[in-house]
Amino acid sequence: MIVHLYQNDRLTPTIMLRALCVGDTEFFVSNVSVRARVPLSNTRSFILGGNTSEIAALLEKVDLTK
């Protein structure tokens, strides 16, 4: 589903942040992974690992820092 949304330009930052706000971290992590073109396992470890510099780099790559 996430790949389909991405391919059709419907994977918006709003959808991603909404998922995070309602506690759907797996949906958020998967979104970041697809948008950043980083393997899901790496994205998950970066985000859930709590390393702020890695998280910031990922969010900047998917254009969520603005």
pLDDT tens per residue across span 20-66: 899 999 999 999 999 999 999 999 999 888 889 988 988 888 887 55
Q: Taking a C-beta distance cutoff of 8 angstroms, is the pair 40, 29 a contact?
A: yes
- pLDDT score of 65: 56
For 2-25, how does the pLDDT look when each residue is reduced to its tens digit (9 = 90+)?
889 888 988 888 888 899 899 999
pTM of this prediction exceeds 0.95: no
Render 17-42 in DSSP notation, one character per residue.
HHHHHTT-HHHHHHHHHHHHT--HHH
Using the structure block, give the residue that is written with the tokens 């820092």.
65
Can you tell me the distance from the alpha carbon of 11 to that of 16, in angstroms, rounded to the nearest whole number? Answer: 7
Can you tell me the distance from the alpha carbon of 24 to that of 66, in angstroms, rounded to the nearest whole number? Answer: 22
